[in-house]
Amino acid sequence: MTKTPKTAPWLLTPGPLTTSPTVKSAMLRDWGSRDAEFIAINRRVRERLVELAGGTGTHVCVPLQGSGTFAVEATLATLIPPAGKAVILVNGAYGRRMAAIFDYLRRDYRVLETPEHVPNDVQALAQCLDTDAAITHVVMVQCETTTGILNPLEAVGELCRRTGKALIVDAMSAFGALPLDARETRFEALIASSNKCLEGVPGIGFAIVRQGALDGSRGNCHSLSLDLYEQHRYMESSGQWRFTPPTHVLAAFDQALLEHAEEGGVQGRGARYEKNCERLLQGMHDLGFAALLPRKMQAPIITTYYQPADPRFDFSAFYAALSERGYVIYPGKLTQAETFRIGCIGRVGVAQMDGVLAAIAAVLDEMGVENRSPDAGVA
């Protein structure tokens, strides 16, 4: 028995995201893990990802089964030795999650936190590196998806280069659309996944790691399945994955990378998202919503708005009514204020931005929400 297919909604979220029909259809055949063609796909995907990071000849790509968090945990556990110490730059949930990973790992770290609407503080980092000689690694999030805020990657990279600290970047929601190039920013590792700006389906996380750092990481990892050193060693020696590979996800990822190149790579993809973001921010402003972030801090990935203070606004009803009209948005993740988020990544364009804006206008009219501004105290 098959389920009755329903038209898929547009996913305006931080992921999973809307993918192209051709990416989806790349999953329609089965592959054996030792299949020569599958091994060739694996090699091609890994090489392409290294190329996208500007790391050919210096860095390697280590993919891992699972969602992005698996790759984050694996990278931190593999690259930061038990005797190391990290400083984590936090301004949202994903920075905090990395601190939680360190707690699980029982490895030494400290946190430099700024409020969720404020980028990482590079001056505070400089002071911290000056005064705490035990620090070996700096860990940051390029675009903190909690709000969509862009963090000062270049300035942090430059500081790490000057002070000789290793930089690890969670580039989960940025890689493929925002620039991060190993020839310009000296990073030890970046971490991302198949299903954000690269527009594959979820199921693979990966790290692009400086070869020398990976070579020196043997024995650091506390976990068999998360050990990127072993994952890489096995893949290099056999061309295969250490454990059952996510075959269909990889085939879809290969197609997604082809489409990424056809769109003009990082620049082309970033330009489409920028247009989406611009249209969305303008449209929401015209509807009377207040955005959380000033434009210059806003990455073209996901946008955050305060919920209207009008008592007739009810987020659950709003969400359900938009979903009914074919648009899935996302609740807020802020600790300080009631917000919601609308993403502009995935296989979507300005037509979908116009579509969701029209749907929002109609739903607010239905709800009778005339005043869309937040509480005076919050705005």
Ligand X SMILES: Cc1ncc(COP(=O)(O)O)c(C=O)c1O
User: Can you give the binding site for ligand X, defined by CB under 6 A?
Assistant: 14-15, 67-69, 72, 94, 141, 145, 170, 172-173, 193
* Nearer Cβ to ligand X (173/247): 173
- Shortest Å, Cβ 123 to ligand X: 23
- Shortest Å, Cβ 137 to ligand X: 17
- Shortest Å, Cβ 206 to ligand X: 12
Residue 100 half-sphere exposure, CB side, CA atoms within 13 Å? 8
Which two tokens mark 119? 């980028």
* Nearer Cβ to ligand X (67/247): 67
Taking CB atoms, the residue at the shortest distance from ligand X is 68
* Nearer Cβ to ligand X (41/143): 143
- Shortest Å, Cβ 276 to ligand X: 17
Choose among 273, 259, 289, 209: nearest CA to 14: 273
| SS3 assignment, position 71 | helix
| SS3 assignment, position 12 | coil
Burial label for 111, CB within 10 Å (0-12, 13-18, 19+), is middle
Alpha-carbon distance of 48 to 175, in angstroms, equals 13
Burial label for 275, CB within 10 Å (0-12, 13-18, 19+), is middle
* Nearer Cβ to ligand X (70/319): 70
Residue 41 half-sphere exposure, CB side, CA atoms within 13 Å? 25
- Shortest Å, Cβ 200 to ligand X: 12
Note whether 129 and 110 are within 8 A (CB).
no
Torsion of CA 160, 163, 165, 167, to 10 degrees: 0
- Shortest Å, Cβ 143 to ligand X: 6
* Nearer Cβ to ligand X (172/177): 172
* Nearer Cβ to ligand X (55/148): 148
Contacts of 169 (CB under 8 A, 6+ apart): 139, 140, 141, 142, 153, 180, 187, 189, 190, 191
- Shortest Å, Cβ 76 to ligand X: 12
